[in-house]
Amino acid sequence: MEKILIIEDDKKIATLLQDYLKKYNLNAHITTDFDDIMPLFNELSPHLVLLDINLPKYDGYFWCRKIREVSVCPIIFISARDGELDQVMALENGADDYITKPFSYQVVIAKVRAQLRRVYGDFANPYQEPEFHEGSLSFYPLKFTIERAGKAIELSKNEAKLLEVMWRSAPNVANRDLLYEEIWDEISFIDDNTLSVNVTRLRKKLLDLGVKDSIKSVRGYGYQWVYKEES
């Protein structure tokens, strides 16, 4: 039975979510200590997290980043904040989906099931082997890691997906529309600046591995992976 961690300080909402999830044979646990949720997270090792933004002491963005330091389990934000910026920040901090309050419990169940299928079900890749090798460079998309010459760099979820799409597209150029669709489920509020920021961060991490000029900007179209082995 899949384990779901509910991080919601409204006890009524948290309890209703827990009861509803249990009806669908999901093992739901509620956070009660909001000073530090990581001990419970580490003990439980949940398959998925439902996370509110407005929480005591630290907000949901903070806890999303902390979880991403140790896990790639799906994280779905559930929040009364319905602004585009809030949704962008959630995705940028590592979330996989976003649901606004008030919400339909059927929608929550559908999105939870979709994420569980994607990561653990029929569509999940059961292997943890490197997906890509090129010279001394190895990329592990499931672990959000890229390695070269014995040194490993961790990538964010978006950086890993960006690299994966460009690498798969090479030697062709990955156009911006493709990158938007592959990296962000909801693209109506994503602009060129968001993509450019992710490209800049990825370039910096690659440079830390000694990989220079591997992402070529094609003006007005997209980005191209042009890796060349360097000593």
* Dihedral angle sign, alpha carbons of residues 207, 213, 215, 217: positive
Question: Residue 208: its pLDDT value, please?
Answer: 93
Residue 126 lies in a domain: no
Residue 49 lies in a domain: yes
* Weakest-pLDDT range from 21-25, 91-95, 127-131: 127-131
- Domain of 177 in residue numbering reads as 132-225
User: What's the pLDDT tens digit per position in 179-202?
Assistant: 887 777 555 455 668 888 889 999
pTM comes to 0.56
Q: Are residues 93 and 152 in the same domain?
A: no
Residue 43 lies in a domain: yes
Q: Are residues 113 and 136 in the same domain?
A: no
Mean pLDDT of 203-231: 90
Q: Are residues 32 and 71 in the same domain?
A: yes
Question: Residue 132: its pLDDT value, please?
Answer: 85
Q: Are residues 114 and 136 in the same domain?
A: no
CATH (domain of 153): 1.10.10.10
Q: Are residues 97 and 192 in the same domain?
A: no
User: What's the pLDDT tens digit per position in 14-67?
Assistant: 999 999 999 888 999 999 999 999 999 988 889 999 999 999 989 999 999 999
Strands 174-175 and 222-225: antiparallel
Report how far apart, in Å, the C-alpha atoms of 77 and of each of 96, 115, 213 are.
Answer: 8, 13, 36
Give the percent of the chain with pLDDT over 70.
92
